[in-house]
């Protein structure tokens, strides 16, 4: 079976800085530098799966999506979408691709949902015969049928996101790509949208999405690529990625102390792996990976007492993709 997306050696460089007309007229040297937003990504998304690109803001997720959807030209590398070369036959790719890249801003707020979809259906070359049914189907899929004739300006952010998803479904695409589909949504709306994404998989479509919410990637995706500084640092199913952390449990501690805490950290390292430490205003926040919190927590209290420090907060949590990211990059996803 043909993979839905195959990207090989994908690189995108942008220029950083400015070289203004005034600088050019004065003969000043061009001091712009080039930076790599995407740095050699190899990707294969299988047909029928929900594939997630997980990473912090600025990791290169959106740039990758824009290259896959023909909006950006890669500096180097090749992309095939549904077996079609994106560089050579972009129009054919666009005809088979449902994309939701800039969410609620990509809609006409002074039109109703139905008018928006009528317009985009024509742009997607949906045949006139059956266009109404296609629009109704898309509205039903995102549960907006009852508000289809309201102006979009009267919608909530979540409803606009759902309408943007409905638009992406108009060409009846085998592949749907969604860039941060739940960003800015309240928990209920986000849950609702995730359900719609699961429906897409149930209909046999392939979904490629980006997110910086680890829970979203964990709950929704069959496979996840963790991306940082334009590179894929890990790629597997969420469960397999979490198994790479050699720990059963994660303990987060907030410890109040005066000194540098080196001795305390050394003692903690004897009973677990100190994955992260951050000092703010006399508090040392530590994340420790361990086999058993029952063993680590008393040891942490003993270590604190021995160092003249106080344990202020203890939290025991299961391993998440956040911990995987942390162990791979040394940073939290939200940093």
Q: Is 99 in the site for other proteins (CB under 8 A)?
A: yes
Q: How far apart are CB 159 and other proteins at their closest, in Å?
A: 17
User: Which residues, numbered 142-171, are part of the site for other proteins (CB under 8 A)?
Assistant: 167
Give the number of other CB atoms < 10 A from CB of residue 138: 25
Which x/- pattern over 271-310 shows residues binding other proteins (rule: CB under 8 A)? Answer: ----------------------------------------
Q: Is 172 in the site for other proteins (CB under 8 A)?
A: no
User: Which residues, numbered 109-128, are part of the site for other proteins (CB under 8 A)?
Assistant: 110-111, 115, 118-125, 127-128
Q: Is 70 in the site for other proteins (CB under 8 A)?
A: yes
SS (H, E, C) the chain: CCCCEEEEEEEEEEEECCCCHHHHHCCCCCCCEEEEEEEEEEEEECCCCEEEEECCCCCCHHHHHHHHCCCCCCCEEEEEECCEECCCCHHHHHHHEEEECCHHHHCCCCCEHHHHHHHHHHHCCCCCCCHHHHHHHHHHHCCCHHHCCCEHHHCCHHHHHHHHHHHHHCCCCCEEEEECCCCCCCHHHHHHHHHHHHHHHHCCCEEEEEECCHHHHHHHCCEEEEEECCEEEEEECHHHHHHCCCCCEEEEEEEECCCCCHHHHHHHHHHCEEEEEEEECCEEEEEEEECCHHHHHHHHHHHHHHCCCEEEEEEEECCCHHHHHHHHHCCCCCC
Question: How far is it, in rounded angstroms, from Cα 39 to Cα 237?
Answer: 22
For other proteins, which is the closer residue by CB, 110 or 334?
110
Q: How far apart are CB 305 and other proteins at their closest, in Å?
A: 55
Taking CB under 8 A as the binding criterion, the range among 97-105, 212-220, 231-239, 314-322 that sits at the site for other proteins is 97-105
Q: How far apart are CB 150 and other proteins at their closest, in Å?
A: 13
Query: Which of 11, 71, 183, 314 touches other proteins by CB under 8 A?
Result: 71
Q: How far apart are CB 71 and other proteins at their closest, in Å?
A: 6
Query: Which of 66, 134, 212, 223 touches other proteins by CB under 8 A?
Result: 66
User: Which residues, numbered 239-278, are part of the site for other proteins (CB under 8 A)?
Assistant: none
Q: How far apart are CB 314 and other proteins at their closest, in Å?
A: 45
Query: Which of 57, 102, 156, 219 touches other proteins by CB under 8 A?
Result: 102
For other proteins, which is the closer residue by CB, 63 or 182?
63
Long-range contacts of 123-129, Cβ-Cβ distance < 8 Å, separation of 24 or more = 124/95, 124/170, 124/171, 125/95, 125/171, 126/170, 126/171
For other proteins, which is the closer residue by CB, 122 or 269?
122
Q: How far apart are CB 286 and other proteins at their closest, in Å?
A: 40
Taking CB under 8 A as the binding criterion, the range among 86-94, 135-143, 267-275, 301-309 that sits at the site for other proteins is 86-94
Pairing mode of beta strands 33-45, 50-54: unpaired
Tokens 């712009």 sit on residue? 32
Q: How far apart are CB 127 and other proteins at their closest, in Å?
A: 6
Query: Which of 51, 55, 69, 159 touches other proteins by CB under 8 A?
Result: 69
Query: Which of 18, 26, 105, 270 touches other proteins by CB under 8 A?
Result: 105
Query: Which of 6, 72, 311, 316 touches other proteins by CB under 8 A?
Result: 72
Residues that bind other proteins (CB under 8 A): 14-15, 63, 66, 69-73, 75, 91-92, 94-95, 97, 99, 101-102, 105-108, 110-111, 115, 118-125, 127-128, 167
């Amino acid at each position: 079976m043909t993979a839905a997306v195959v990207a090989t050696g994908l690189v995108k460089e942008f220029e950083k800085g400015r070289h203004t007309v005034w600088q050019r007229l004065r003969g000043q040297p061009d001091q712009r530098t080039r930076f790599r937003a995407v740095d050699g990504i190899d990707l294969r998304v299988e047909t029928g799966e929900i594939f997630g690109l997980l990473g912090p803001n600025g990791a290169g997720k959106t740039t990758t999506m824009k290259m896959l959807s023909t909006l950006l030209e890669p500096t180097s590398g090749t992309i095939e979408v549904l077996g079609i070369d994106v560089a050579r036959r972009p129009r054919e790719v666009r005809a088979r691709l449902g994309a939701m890249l800039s969410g609620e801003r990509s809609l006409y707020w002074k039109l109703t949902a139905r008018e928006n979809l009528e317009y985009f259906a024509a742009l997607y070359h949906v045949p006139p015969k059956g266009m109404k049914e296609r629009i109704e189907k898309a509205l039903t899929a995102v549960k907006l049928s009852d508000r289809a004739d309201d102006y979009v300006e009267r919608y909530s952010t979540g409803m606009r996101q759902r309408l943007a998803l409905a638009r992406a479904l108009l060409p009846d695409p085998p592949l749907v790509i969604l860039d941060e589909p739940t960003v800015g949504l309240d928990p209920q709306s986000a849950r609702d949208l995730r359900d719609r994404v699961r429906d897409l998989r149930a209909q046999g479509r392939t979904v490629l999405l980006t997110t910086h919410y680890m829970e979203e990637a964990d709950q929704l995706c069959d496979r996840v690529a963790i991306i940082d500084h334009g590179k894929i640092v890990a790629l597997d199913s969420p469960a397999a990625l979490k198994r790479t952390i050699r720990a059963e449990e994660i303990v987060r501690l907030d410890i109040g102390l005066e000194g540098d805490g080196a001795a305390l950290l050394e003692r903690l390292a004897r009973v677990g792996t100190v994955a992260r430490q951050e000092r703010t205003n006399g508090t040392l926040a530590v994340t420790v990976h361990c086999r058993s919190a029952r063993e680590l927590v008393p040891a942490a209290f003993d270590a604190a007492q021995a160092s003249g420090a106080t344990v202020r907060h203890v939290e025991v949590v299961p391993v998440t993709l956040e911990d995987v990211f942390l162990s791979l990059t040394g940073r939290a996803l939200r940093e």
